[in-house]
Copies of this chain bind each other. A is one copy, B any other.
């Protein structure tokens, strides 16, 4: 049985492991928290720092293949492991391009992939020389994740919020819709593409809020988005699963926003809504099995369940029973003991007959299900008298 390792033990690893149990594979996970969401679902849990060269190298040496569930891993170690013959998916070369958002942007430019105009800046001071470029979105080169590391700079008044680190300063796009497309690439270069999904973001949290599949877009936008996603995935020259986030601008342009070289939040719905889920797809790629069918079985909506504002501490799920009374609602909790405001605690997938039905159900879910803790921060009831 092949030994396959996952760097990172978050919810993406958790869902990968739920699916792994269907396949002939011996699973290994490395993470620095023995209580992380994926820790108890693998055959072999190794405590270690995925950003540390020695930890990653030692972990990889005992395996037949290695993948990631988060980009912030030690790429030097992965390159050395690959040189020594280990199958690393995605390839470290692709990961290096994606891990740094400045490299990622240059890669799009180099491959004529349409993306918003940008300037690479080295620090906060450099932004002051580019005031005519505003309004812009500043994306920190390294270390951004889940909405952290992204800052909107509307005007000169916002430059104090700029990152003081190498970053991409990108012209703010007048967005009509945000789309995401998953592309699977196997070791022989064969590809399979998932139908695009349409994302609706929360303007405050900058975390995926809810998402509908299929996206409501014109045929020519679909073709354009698919062509971009496929070209991009092929240009990365790596097997794996790639989540390509795109903007459809109000003037009809389709632009690449960013890419993740792994299973992705925008693909959670594929567990119930697709013939082959993104998780199954990645195991097929890792185990040299044929790519699966990406067709949708049902229209679906994905609602992210994030920690409610004002609550920190042991997580409790208010309204779970109410939501589970609804039809064709699939709750996925990530097993995180502690909630914090805006922390990703789970997601809910809803199947429905059409968009109206899905949005109706999604809104009920968002109103009903809340991740709270026993005591509310700043709760008047907690005030000492």
Contacts and interface: CB of A to CB of B under 8 A. Distances in A.
A324 interface: yes
A328 B23 contact: no
A328 B298 contact: no
Classify chain A: how many residues form its interface, as a range: 35 or more
A109 to B, nearest CB: 38
Interface string A298-331: 1000000000000000010100110011011011
Interface string A1-34: 1000000000000110110011110010000000
Nearest to A331: B22
Contact of A321 (B42, B290, B320, B332): B290
Contacts of A331: 22-23
Contacts of A293: 327-328
17 contacts: A1-B337, A18-B18, A18-B22, A21-B41, A22-B330, A22-B331, A22-B332, A24-B315, A24-B317, A40-B43, A284-B324, A289-B320, A290-B324, A290-B325, A292-B324, A293-B327, A293-B328
Interface of A: 1, 14-15, 17-18, 21-24, 27, 40-43, 275, 284, 288-290, 292-293, 297-298, 315, 317, 320-321, 324-325, 327-328, 330-333, 335, 337, 351
Contacts of A22: 18, 330-333
The count of identical subunits is 2
Contacts of A328: 275, 293
Nearest to A19: B18
Contacts of A298: 297
Contacts of A24: 315, 317, 320, 333, 335
Contacts of A292: 324
A38 to B, nearest CB: 9
A13 to B, nearest CB: 11
A112 to B, nearest CB: 34
A331 B21 CA distance: 10
